Amino acid sequence: MEDAALERDPEKCGAVFRKTARQNYGPPPALLEWAVERLLPMPARESVMGDLREVYRGPWQYLCEAARTVPRIAAGHAWRNANLPALGLNGALIWLCLAGLHEKGEGLSAVTIAFATLAGIAALALIQMYGDAQRPTGARAIKGAIWTVALVMLLCVWNFGLKYQRSGGADYLLEFGMLQSLPFVLPVLGLLRTGLLLQSDLQAERLADDAPPTLEDEHRAFLAAVRRVNGIESAALIAGACLLPALTGPGLWLPAIFLVTAAYLLTQNIVQPGQGAGLHSRYRRQLQTRRQLRHFLSWLWAAPFLMAACRLLVWPGYEEGRAILVALGSSAIVSICFLARAADSECAGLLRERLARLDTAPAA
């Protein structure tokens, strides 16, 4: 009753409201707060979690309040910030990869591929909504490389174990070659990851040093940079589409995705979305959609190399029984995936830092 009166009395808004509300109630249970925080999209966490804590009256009230708040916020964020063309292109890429497996006789039907593609798109949308896109520290980046290689080695051991049980033993030394090659990949991955990290640090420093004095100038500089990168990247994509058959085989799907992406990037240079919105909001949304587009582009550039590794090394290795080819191909795939992921996280981290700067500065 007292709470309702407190909420309904406009004079008690602000400082009095906060003081009274926080006096008699402790903080929410940590586990409950942790669970609610995980359900909120990243950009809303800071302010909404603070608000929920401020109006905390008890665990049950907190839970009810969260149940009434979180779904609306999550749905709103998913709708407002989704880059639908980028998600569609991502879907096409997932379809292509799964269809490639289908051609190799892995037993995936068209319906399964369609469902898996939809699940992949949904998962990507969720990752983009809930994922914490922070640039890792140097130590964390190197640990990431170590963990990746360790995990793949573990999978190799597990796979060989099964194989020996089935076949009753094959050329152990050849199979073991695959395991031996992976530790040599580790320093290369560590070195490349460190290079990426240093490059982004330099870029972040340059951005901070050359930061334009006003938001309008910063936004204009951002748009100019996006246009420049889009122009260069679309030209590279068109050139790549022409050269792809030599690398990935005669299929037309990947060149088609390259060309559609190039066309999309060029249209982005002509049409800027949300012209009527406020600058702050428009800039924020452009940063978020840019982040999703870069995520897709990182994997699009990796796709031909992954396909080439499969086509030229892994499949012939399996067919001819040459473990060294399988080992080289697998190492190449691990390295390409690791680097695509690393490039994506660096880019997403830089964009997030820009978003954070935008959030802390009051709109002009």
Residues that bind other proteins (CB under 8 A): 7-10, 12-15, 17-18, 21-22, 27, 33, 44, 46-55, 65, 68-73, 75-77, 80, 274, 276-282, 285, 359-363
The CA angle 344-270-261, to the nearest 5 degrees, is: 40
* 173 contacts 139 by C-beta, under 8 angstroms: no
CB of 47 to other proteins, least distance (A): 4
Of the pair 76, 161, the CB lying nearest other proteins is at 76
Using DSSP's 3-state secondary structure scheme, residue 49 falls into helix
Of the pair 270, 363, the CB lying nearest other proteins is at 363
The C-alpha R_g of the chain, in whole angstroms, comes to 25
CB of 282 to other proteins, least distance (A): 8
Of the pair 63, 121, the CB lying nearest other proteins is at 63
Residue with tokens 């709708």: 79
CB of 6 to other proteins, least distance (A): 8
CB of 283 to other proteins, least distance (A): 11
Q: Rounded to 10 degrees, what is the CA torsion of 249, 254, 260, 266?
A: -80
User: Which run of H or E residues covers position 167?
Assistant: helix 138-167
* 98 contacts 306 by C-beta, under 8 angstroms: no
Of the pair 50, 168, the CB lying nearest other proteins is at 50
Of the pair 9, 217, the CB lying nearest other proteins is at 9
Count of helices and strands (H, E) across the chain: 14, 0
CB of 163 to other proteins, least distance (A): 52
